[in-house]
Amino acid sequence: LKLVCFVSSVLIFCEFLIYYVVIFQCRWPEVKGGAHMGKKETSTSVLKAIILADTHLLGEIKGHWLDKLRREWQMERSFQTALWLLQPDIVFILGDAFDEGKWSSPQAWADDVRRFHKMFKHPVSTELVVIVGNHDIGFHYEMTTYKVNRFEKVFNFTSGKLITRKGINFVIVNSVAMEGDGCAVCRTSEAKLVALSHKLNCSQQKLNHSDKRCSDVEKLPASEPILLQHYPLYRKSDAECSGEDSAPPEEKNIPFKEKYDVLSQEASQKLIWWFHPRLILSGHTHSACEVLHAGKIPEISVPSFSWRNRNNPSFIMGSITPTDFSLQKCFLPYESRVFAIYCAAGALLVVLILAHFQLLTPPFYFAQRLISKHKA
């Protein structure tokens, strides 16, 4: 009975309670002016958003069943615990929800989607927005209309879609389609982005009756948009990135390949010209990074949410208003520390079993006899 209680306690802590212990320490950041508002006013005007990326649910081709079981349990417990403790208004997943969406047969895709909905189930009060990544529909040369439509049907995703919550504009971008080669998916995606850019620009201008281009345009909140996409905007490498969850030192100086690791310079410049965003959130690299574009536009690369890609996954907590935002990182349990707890518990268990069966007694008697002879 003692043995069962000991093993059960270790398992319950490492596989369940540890997520509450760690995520309980995370706090929503305060936006400027939040201190001058009452609690009721703050809760109604500030949008609480959780941003995570690259969950990479394993598929039937490369995914071992034990690896699937372990990684999906970790992500499910982390996500459900975060929802329960933090109660966000909206959650964004910045692409690569699946690892093998680019290869999946209809049956495998249906199974992956079923597991995803189980892991990331959420209450009606929390909205979930999933953005497309290269592993969901393939890199540009693998991307097809069928794969894009399959993803859009499940997640109600459309490139060039605007999501407005509490007066805050979020622009959803299919960054895989920003190749610039005029492919069918790319043309459609860019046309939607240009039309949305026109709407946002007209909404931010003061009413001018002489400007006929904006006379028939639907007015949107005048808030500068936040760009959400999978690929980061162009940067040479991760050499300037810092922090404990940035890329390893041996990888930081490896140059990024345009249209593969990051968007091309041309596509990046287009997005900045079209939208003049106040913040850009991206994933794909599996490591954290913060860069400034044009000297004033911050981009946050969100690290992977999966322990398969990192020892220290995390997600971003954002308190956002129409005019300001504040971000805070919430780290999940380090897998190395969980293994250390298991190893320590295993060693202690071995000692307790040996002591129980009095297998540790002979060495003690032998040492006692040696001491007695020495004294004699």
Domain 1-333, CATH number (from 3.20.20.220, 3.40.630.30, 3.40.50.300, 3.60.21.10): 3.60.21.10
CA 364 to each of CA 348, 355, 361, 370, 373: distance values in angstroms, whole numbers, following the listed order: 18, 11, 5, 10, 14
Question: Can you tell me which residue has the tokens 């960054």?
Answer: 175
Summarize pLDDT for 204-230 with one digit per residue, the tens. 776 555 567 787 778 888 899 999 999
What's the CA gap between 248 and 242, in Å, rounded? 10
Position 252 confidence tier, pLDDT thresholds 50, 70, 90:
very high
Closest to 220 measured CA to CA, from 205, 238, 233: 205
Q: What is the mean pLDDT of residues 162-190?
A: 92
Is residue 26 within 8 A of residue 328, CB to CB? The reply is yes
- Exposure class string for 308-346: b at 16+ Cβ within 10 A, else e: bbbebbbbbbbbbbbeebbbebbbbbebeebeeeeeebe
Is 43's pLDDT higher than 70?
no
Least confident range from 114-123, 257-266, 361-370: namely 361-370
Question: Can you tell me which residue has the tokens 């000692």?
Answer: 351
Summarize pLDDT for 16-25 with one digit per residue, the tens. 999 999 999 9
Looking at residue 74, its pLDDT comes to 95
Summarize pLDDT for 348-357 with one digit per residue, the tens. 988 888 887 7
What's the CA gap between 139 and 123, in Å, rounded? 33
Closest to 168 measured CA to CA, from 211, 212, 127, 120: 127
Is residue 85 within 8 A of residue 20, CB to CB? The reply is yes
Residue that wins the pLDDT comparison between 233 and 370: 233
Question: Can you tell me which residue has the tokens 């069962």?
Answer: 4
Tell me how crowded residue 216 is: count the other CB atoms within 10 A of its CB: 7
Ramachandran area for residue 348 (φ above 0: left; ψ -120 to 50: alpha; else beta): alpha
Is 165's pLDDT higher than 50?
yes
What's the chain's average pLDDT? 89
What's the CA gap between 317 and 232, in Å, rounded? 19
Domain ranges of the chain: 1-333, 345-374
Is residue 55 within 8 A of residue 97, CB to CB? The reply is yes
DSSP β-bridge partners for residue 15: none
Q: What is the mean pLDDT of residues 297-314?
A: 95
CA of residue 355 relative to chain centroid, distance:
47
DSSP 8-state assignment for residue 131: E
Element (H, E) at 365: helix 361-375
Looking at residue 327, its pLDDT comes to 96
Looking at residue 36, its pLDDT comes to 46
CA of residue 129 relative to chain centroid, distance:
12
Position 14 confidence tier, pLDDT thresholds 50, 70, 90:
very high
Sheet with 127-131, strands from edge to edge, namely 127-131, 90-94, 47-52, 314-320, 325-331
Number of alpha helices (DSSP H) and beta strands (DSSP E) in the chain: 12, 11
DSSP β-bridge partners for residue 331: 314
Summarize pLDDT for 111-132 with one digit per residue, the tens. 999 999 999 999 999 999 999 9
Is 35's pLDDT higher than 50?
no
Looking at residue 42, its pLDDT comes to 54
Q: State pTM to two decimals.
A: 0.89
Looking at residue 61, its pLDDT comes to 86
Looking at residue 216, its pLDDT comes to 78
Looking at residue 356, its pLDDT comes to 76
The string of DSSP codes covering 102-126 is: TT--HHHHHHHHHHHHHHT---TTS
Looking at residue 274, its pLDDT comes to 94
- Within 13 A of 355's CA, how many CA atoms are on the CB side? 7
What's the CA gap between 194 and 154, in Å, rounded? 25
Summarize pLDDT for 54-93 with one digit per residue, the tens. 999 998 888 888 888 999 999 999 999 999 999 999 999 9
Tell me how crowded residue 114 is: count the other CB atoms within 10 A of its CB: 10
Looking at residue 230, its pLDDT comes to 96
